């Protein structure tokens, strides 16, 4: 009987750990969509694929693991935001302010950073294949360990 209880406890714990965490705050998500002002918000693992977030203020926001594939973040302010592990494939960040942001381990394949500011941004181990950095300010940005092929920079 004791062995059976231990086995059940192990299965329950293993299942609990396997369930992906949806840690974002639903109130923060609603605030973002209604006002485009969400500084310091917790949007961890939020599904924002294809969302129009142009001119949003996300200063210091947590977007770790968020799905921003194809999102429009043009002219957005992401200063100091944490996007670790986020998917920004084919997102538009033209003229975005991404200074001091953390983009480690992100998927930036095909992302458009034209005229964006990525000063002192951390892009360690990011996938920047076919990413557009035309006229982007990347002074002090950390690209160590990035994966790239045909990244466009002028």
Cα dihedral 47/63/72/108 (nearest 10): -100
pLDDT at 18 over 50: no
pTM of the model: 0.83
d(CA 92, CA 88): 9
HSE-CB of 152 using CA atoms within 13 angstroms: 12
What average pLDDT does the segment 37-62 reach? 97
Q: How far is CA 99 from CA 37, 118, 132, 137, in A?
A: 17, 5, 17, 9
What average pLDDT does the segment 31-51 reach? 97
Q: What is the tens place of the pLDDT at every residue in 81-99? A: 999 999 999 999 999 999 9
d(CA 71, CA 63): 13
Q: Tokens 């299965």 appear where?
A: 11
Question: Under a CB-based contact definition with an 8 Å cutoff, are residues 84 and 106 in contact?
Answer: yes
Domains, the chain, with CATH or none: 21-154 (2.160.20.80)
């Amino acid at each position: 009987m004791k062995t059976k209880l231990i086995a059940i406890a192990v299965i329950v714990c293993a299942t609990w750990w396997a369930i992906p965490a949806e840690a974002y705050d639903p109130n923060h998500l609603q605030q973002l969509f209604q006002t485009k002002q969400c500084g310091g918000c917790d949007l961890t693992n939020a599904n924002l694929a294809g969302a129009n977030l142009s001119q949003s203020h996300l200063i210091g926001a947590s977007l770790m693991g968020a799905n921003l594939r194809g999102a429009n973040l043009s002219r957005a302010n992401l200063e100091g935001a944490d996007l670790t592990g986020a998917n920004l494939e084919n997102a538009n960040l033209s003229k975005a302010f991404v200074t001091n942001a953390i983009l480690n381990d992100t998927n930036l394949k095909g992302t458009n950073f034209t005229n964006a500011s990525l000063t002192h941004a951390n892009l360690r181990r990011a996938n920047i294949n076919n990413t557009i950095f035309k006229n982007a300010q990347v002074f002090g940005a950390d690209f160590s360990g990035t994966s790239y092929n045909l990244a466009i920079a002028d």
